[in-house]
C-alpha cells in the first residue's frame, strides 16, 4: 500500500505533463505600435512643378453708340477654348492640419472665339494667349496626405481682338488685362517630395469700351471670362 500511493502520484503527474504538452502554444500579443507620422515636408516649404489642362473662353461683345457712349446698340457672345500648359512655383506654411501659401504660375494657350455683329457689319475674333497669376491659397490636410484648398489672387493675360468688316477693313487691338481669379483644388502627396494636383479656376477678362476700328460710330465693350481645369505635378524642396 505504501508503494502504491507514490506510484499513483507519479502516474498522475506524468499524465498532466502530457496533457499540457498537447495544448496549443499561445504567444503573448506584441504591444501596439502607432504608425509613424507623415514626413515633415508634406505641404511645407518651397515647391515647383508643371501643369496642363483645358481652358474655356467666352466673350460677350456689346456695341454702344460712340456719340453718347451709353446707348446699347447690339450684343453678341462667342465661345471657344484650347489646351493650356505651363509651370508654377510656390511656398507653403503648415500649421497642424491647416496650410497657407503663395503660388505663382505662367501658362501658354491659344483660346479663340468668334462673334458676329447681328447687323452683319463686322466680326471679331478674340484670342487669349499667355497669362500668369500670383495667388494665395488656404487649405486643410485630410487623411495625412490630401490637401483640399481654395485659391485666389491677380491674373494678368494677353488678349487680342481681331476686327474684320464686310468691306475688307482689318484691325487688331491688343490688351494686357489684370483681373481677379479664384478657384478650388486638391493636392495629394505621393511621397514626401512629389505631389499631384487637380485645380479648377475662373478668371474675369473684361476690357473697357474701345472704339470699334472697322465700324464707324460704335464703341465695343468686351465682357469676357475663362474657366480652366488643370492637372499638375510638383516637387517639394527641403532638407
Element (H, E) at 20: helix 4-22
Output the domain CATH number for residue 179: 2.40.160.20
Residue 115, classified by CB atoms within 10 Å of its CB into exposed (0-12), middle (13-18) or buried (19+), is: buried
The pLDDT tens digits of the residues spanning 32-89 come to 666 665 555 689 999 999 999 999 999 998 888 877 777 787 889 999 999 999 999 9
205 in Cβ contact with 178 (< 8 Å): no
Please report whether residue 167 resides in a domain.
yes
The pLDDT tens digits of the residues spanning 136-179 come to 999 999 988 999 999 999 999 999 999 999 888 999 999 999 99
For the whole prediction, is pTM greater than 0.75? Answer: yes
Q: How many domains does the chain have?
A: 1
Range of the domain at 51: 45-236
**Which cell numbers in the block locate residue 179?**
483681373
Please report whether residue 40 resides in a domain.
no
Please report whether residue 31 resides in a domain.
no
CA-wise closest residue to 237 among 105, 45, 92, 43: 45
Please report whether residue 8 resides in a domain.
no
Please report whether residue 123 resides in a domain.
yes
pLDDT at 239: 60
Average pLDDT, the chain: 86
Strand blocks (E) in 29-97: 45-65, 72-95
pLDDT at 206: 84
Residue 5 has pLDDT above 50, yes or no: no
| 3 state DSSP class of 51 | strand
Q: How far is CA 132 from CA 6, 129, 178, 226, 235, in A?
A: 98, 10, 10, 13, 20
Residue 124 has pLDDT above 90, yes or no: yes
User: If you average pLDDT over residues 13-35, what whole number do you get?
Assistant: 55
* Least confident residue range of 29-33, 111-115, 217-221: 29-33
Please report whether residue 168 resides in a domain.
yes
Please report whether residue 94 resides in a domain.
yes
The pLDDT tens digits of the residues spanning 182-212 come to 999 999 999 989 999 999 999 999 888 888 8
Please report whether residue 36 resides in a domain.
no
Amino acid at each position: 500500500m505504501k508503494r502504491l500511493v507514490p506510484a499513483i502520484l507519479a502516474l498522475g503527474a506524468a499524465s498532466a505533463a502530457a496533457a499540457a504538452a498537447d495544448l496549443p502554444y499561445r504567444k503573448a500579443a506584441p504591444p501596439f505600435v502607432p504608425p509613424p507620422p507623415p514626413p515633415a515636408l508634406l505641404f511645407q516649404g518651397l515647391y515647383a512643378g508643371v501643369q496642363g489642362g483645358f481652358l474655356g473662353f467666352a466673350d460677350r461683345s456689346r456695341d454702344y453708340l460712340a456719340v453718347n457712349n451709353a446707348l446699347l446698340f447690339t450684343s453678341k457672345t462667342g465661345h471657344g477654348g484650347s489646351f493650356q500648359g505651363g509651370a508654377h512655383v510656390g511656398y507653403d506654411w503648415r500649421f497642424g492640419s491647416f496650410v497657407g501659401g503663395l503660388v505663382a504660375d505662367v501658362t501658354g494657350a491659344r483660346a479663340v472665339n468668334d462673334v458676329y455683329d447681328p447687323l452683319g457689319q463686322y466680326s471679331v475674333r478674340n484670342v487669349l494667349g499667355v497669362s500668369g497669376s500670383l495667388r494665395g491659397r488656404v487649405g486643410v490636410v485630410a487623411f495625412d496626405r490630401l490637401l483640399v484648398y481654395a485659391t485666389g489672387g491677380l491674373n494678368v493675360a494677353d488678349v487680342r481682338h481681331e476686327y474684320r468688316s464686310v468691306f475688307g477693313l482689318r484691325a487688331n487691338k491688343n490688351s494686357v488685362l489684370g483681373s481677379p481669379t479664384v478657384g478650388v483644388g486638391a493636392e495629394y502627396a505621393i511621397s514626401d517630395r512629389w505631389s499631384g494636383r487637380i485645380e479648377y479656376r475662373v478668371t474675369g477678362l473684361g476690357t473697357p469700351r474701345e472704339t470699334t476700328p472697322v465700324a464707324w460710330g460704335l464703341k465695343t465693350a468686351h465682357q469676357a471670362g475663362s474657366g480652366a481645369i488643370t492637372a499638375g505635378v510638383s516637387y517639394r524642396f527641403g532638407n
